[in-house]
Structure 1
Amino acid sequence: MDNTVLHRAETRGYANHGWLNTHHTFSFASYNNPDRMHFGVLRVLNDDQVSEGMGFGTHPHDNMEIISIPLEGDLEHKDSMGNKAVIRHGDIQVMSAGTGITHSEYNKNTDKPVKFLQIWVFPNKKNVSPRYDQITLKVADRHNKLQQILSPNPADAGVWIHQDAWFHLGTFDKDKAAHYNIKRKGNGVYAFVIKGSFTLGGITLKERDGMGIWNTEHINLAAKTQGAEILLMDVPMAL
Structure 2
Amino acid sequence: MLQWIRSITFIVLATVYMPMIGVFYAPWAMFSRRGAYAACKAYSAGTMWLARVVVGMRCEIRGDVPEGAVLVAAKHQSFLDILMIFHALPRAKFIMKREILMMPVIGQYAKRMQMIAVNRGKRGAAISKMLADVKAGEAEPGQLVIYSQGTRVAPGLSVPYKKGTAALYEQMRQPCVPVATNAGYFWPRRGLYRRPGVAVVEFLTPIAPGMERAAFMATLEKTVEAHSDALLAEAGFKATLPV
TM-score (norm 2): 0.31
Q: Counting strand residues as a fraction of each chain, which structure ranks higher?
A: 1
Q: Counting helix residues as a fraction of each chain, which structure ranks higher?
A: 2
